[in-house]
Amino acid sequence: MVIKDGVKVFVKNRKLGKYLFCLRDNKPTILYPNMWGLLGGGIEHDETPLQALEREIGEETNIKLYDIKELGSRPITHTFMENGVERKKRCRFFVFLAQTDADLNEAELYEGQRFEYFTLKEVKKQDDLSPPTKVMIAMCEDHLV
């Protein structure tokens, strides 16, 4: 499994005051299958974190983002199974905050099973919230009011 540095974004709907989360595909070949997470993905060679974020959003959905700002970065350790053996791999995630006016009935999803808007309180109660997303919420919660 290829694991590289990445970007994630807290997308806040201005009208609802809630954040957009995606239920990841249920494929054993991806990290955290069938779990809720943030939009985003890996940074390719020669990309800045912002360029990677813009590309990933375009690959995952048609929603428009505004007022994008970087909240910081943090190392994350992913734990996964490979050939029946538990492996750990560290990488760095750059976390962003962005605004949107997108309504879910107008939004298209190109990756994942579905998305939904949650308050932070609501999403933290989800049993199937991915571990890195929990870390990013704890890291950024003071900036997400």
pLDDT at position 40 over 90: yes
Q: Average pLDDT of 88-117?
A: 93
State pTM to two decimals.
0.90
Does residue 145 surpass a pLDDT of 80? Answer: no
The H-assigned helical ranges of 19-130 are 49-60, 120-124
Confidence of residue 22 (pLDDT cuts 50, 70, 90): very high
Predicted confidence at residue 31, as pLDDT, reads 86
Q: What are phi and psi of 82, to 5 degrees?
A: -140, 115
Alpha-helical (H) ranges within 61-130 are: 120-124
pLDDT tens across 58-88, in order? 999 999 999 999 999 988 888 888 888 888 8
H or E element in which residue 40 lies: strand 39-42
CA dist 102 and 14 (Å) reads 9
Domain ranges for the chain: 6-143
Q: What's the CATH code, domain 6-143? A: 3.90.79.10
